[in-house]
Amino acid sequence: MLHSATKFISGHSDVVAGLAVAGSKEIGDKIGFLQNALGTILSVQDSWLLLRGLKTLNVRMKASSASALRIAKYLEKENRVKQVYYPGLPRHVGTAIHASQAVSGGAVLSFALEDEDAVRQFVGSVTIPVFAVSLGAVESILSYPAKMSHAAMSKDDERDSRGITDGLLRLSVGLEDADDLIADFSKAFAKLENRKNLASGSR
């Protein structure tokens, strides 16, 4: 199994690392041989940073997941949001299965606005989240999959069929106060509403 340690395990946006977990001694020995032959191991500093991140992983995940649930519930009631994707919500597809395997809905959610123009206006108005591709850090990270992580996929054949529309945003919730994040989002949505009303009035 391959696992990214850059994200939640590190949690501070200061390490690039990964884990290769072997299911048998034979595979483990092969990985060990390659590490020894190629020198593909973490530096002492990066190893220390990962150990530091592990010490706070539990409390960080609990805090970020609790905030993510609050934000998801808020977004469900926001009239500028077409859809919210978060397994901690009762109406999310697969919630029952997720609940049988996990103790929370996690710290990452997605929500869909009307179109790319709405996304650009919203992203340009929020002030707290970092706008980047990554996730799993102490700071909240907002990303635009259609033009960032999934830009290489064709729009009609692949992205749209998977729900990665031009209006979709992904939010990795960090450790900021949930009320501050919601207030920040509310101001951005208010600007969207004002621009919509101004555009309608000019016609």
Q: Which fold has domain 2-201?
A: Aspartate Aminotransferase, domain 1 (3.90.1150)
Q: pLDDT (tens digit, 0 to 9) for every residue of the chain, 203 residues total?
A: 898 999 999 999 999 999 889 999 999 999 999 989 998 889 999 999 999 999 999 999 999 999 999 999 999 999 999 999 999 999 888 899 999 999 999 999 999 999 999 999 999 999 999 999 999 999 999 999 998 888 888 887 788 888 888 999 999 999 999 999 999 999 999 998 776 665 555 55
Q: From CA 120, how far away is CA 169, in angstroms rounded?
A: 10
Cα-atom radius of gyration of the chain, to the nearest Å?
20
Residue 107 CB coordination number (10 Å): 26
Q: What angle do helix axes 178-201 and 116-125 make, rounded to 10 degrees?
A: 130
Residue 113 CB coordination number (10 Å): 24
Instruction: Name which of 68, 74, 107, 73 is nearest 183 in CA terms.
Output: 74
Starting at the edge strand found earlier in the chain, the sheet holding 108-112 runs: 83-85, 108-112, 168-172, 141-143, 130-131
Instruction: Name which of 133, 138, 164 is nearest 60 in CA terms.
Output: 138
Q: From CA 166, how far away is CA 188, in angstroms rounded?
A: 18
Domain boundaries, the chain: 2-201
Residues 110 and 167: beta-carbon distance below 8 Å: no
